Amino acid sequence: MAMWVQGVGRSGYRLLRRQMQPKQSKTAGMQRCGYRICLLRVLRLADLPTFAANRESNHSNQTINPQTDMRKKIVAGNWKMNLNLQEGLTLANELKAALAADAPACDVVICTPFIHLAKVADAVAGTVIGVGAENCADKEKGAYTGEVSAAQVKSTGADYVILGHSERRQYYGETAELLKEKVRLALANGLKVIFCIGEVLEEREAGRQNEVVGSQLADSLFDFTADELQNIILAYEPVWAIGTGKTATSEQAEDMHAFIRGCIAGRFGEQAAENISILYGGSCKPSNARELFAKPDVDGGLIGGASLKCADFKGIIDAWK
The catalytic site residues sit at: 165, 237
Query: In terms of Cα–Cα distance, which of 73, 74, 91 is closest to 82?
Result: 91
CA distance 230 to 268: 11
Phi, psi of 301 (to 5 degrees): -140, 150
Element (H, E) at 162: strand 160-163
Sorted by sequence, the CB contacts under 8 Å of residue 32 that are 6+ apart come out as: 218, 222, 223
SS3 257: helix
| C-alpha span between 160 and 127 (Å, rounded) | 15
Q: How far apart are CA 90 and CA 79, in angstroms?
A: 13
Element (H, E) at 38: helix 28-42
149 touches 109 (CB < 8 A)? no
